[in-house]
A and B are shown apart, each in its own frame.
Chain A
């Protein structure tokens, strides 16, 4: 257990469905991340939230919509996905300490395996 939980662990959805992935961290961190892991590709960063503010959107299609209501929770809302969006979606969190150069290690959740039919 890394202190980061994700639900659901598995999700199958049709292209017209709307679903949400949830991530919760119990580490007291203030930064949260969504990564996508597709077969035979390196992990790709999707979104970064720092103190609940989105600080990076890595050119992600609008059919993925993140939400960070507080520092402990992160959602990824999905709608009208495509089959190529099938992947493992990983959430991570870290403690961003601001300038000063302290090492911020990212801790990952177990992931949600998504299959889009």
Chain B
């Protein structure tokens, strides 16, 4: 069974700083997908960024980028120039690369607070 671990329950940084959230996972699969989702106080789960395991290039989306280390089974999220609106719970998630609808396996989450 796959597991996803986020070792930082809470983090806090000042606005405009860069912050990195950690995520490790355990799987015997070779092909899979990894995601970071954001859940602000409104509770709406929003996709931040995704990565296909077969791609060596790290995904980037504006101020968000990942450091994907497949051998180490590590998938960290870097937020550059952090903004107050980035305050949220961040969840790392894993999905197998298979046909058919697949479940997401989530980590416990990291509560990120951006301070003014």
Using a CB–CB cutoff of 8 Å, the interface residues on chain A facing chain B are 2, 31, 33, 35, 40-43, 45, 48-50, 55-56, 58, 88, 90, 92, 94, 96, 98-101, 103-111, 113
The reply to whether A105 and B47 form a contact with Cβ atoms under 8 Å apart is yes
| Dominant SS among interface residues on chain B | loop
Q: Among the listed B50, B52, B109, which residue makes an inter-chain contact with A42, where contact means beta carbons less than 8 Å apart?
A: B109
Chain A residues in 8 Å Cβ range of B28: none
Shortest Cβ gap from A32 to chain B (Å)? 8
The reply to whether B104 and A101 form a contact with Cβ atoms under 8 Å apart is no
Q: Among the listed B35, B44, B103, which residue makes an inter-chain contact with A2, where contact means beta carbons less than 8 Å apart?
A: B44
Shortest Cβ gap from B47 to chain A (Å)? 6
Chain B residues in 8 Å Cβ range of A104: 95, 101-102
Q: Would you list which residues of chain B between 79 and 96 have a CB under 8 Å from chain A? A: 91, 95
Query: Considering the chains assembled together, what is the distance between the CA atoms of A111 and B91 in angstroms?
Result: 16
The reply to whether A101 and B97 form a contact with Cβ atoms under 8 Å apart is yes
Answer whether A90 and B100 are a contact pair too, CB < 8 Å, given A103-B50, A103-B52, A105-B35. no
Q: Would you list which residues of chain B between 7 and 52 have a CB under 8 Å from chain A? A: 31, 33, 35, 37, 42-47, 50, 52
Chain A residues in 8 Å Cβ range of B31: 101
Using a CB–CB cutoff of 8 Å, the interface residues on chain B facing chain A are 4, 31, 33, 35, 37, 42-47, 50, 52, 91, 95, 97, 99-109
Max chain B Cβ within 10 angstroms of own Cβ: one of A42, A45, A50: A42
Chain A residues in 8 Å Cβ range of B45: 90, 92, 108, 111
The reply to whether A110 and B43 form a contact with Cβ atoms under 8 Å apart is yes
The reply to whether A96 and B100 form a contact with Cβ atoms under 8 Å apart is yes
Chain B residues in 8 Å Cβ range of A48: 101, 103
The reply to whether B100 and A45 form a contact with Cβ atoms under 8 Å apart is no
17 further contact pairs, Cβ within 8 A, besides A42-B109, A50-B101, A104-B102:
A2-B44, A33-B101, A42-B108, A55-B101, A56-B103, A58-B103, A92-B104, A96-B99, A96-B100, A98-B99, A101-B97, A103-B50, A105-B35, A105-B47, A108-B37, A110-B43, A111-B44
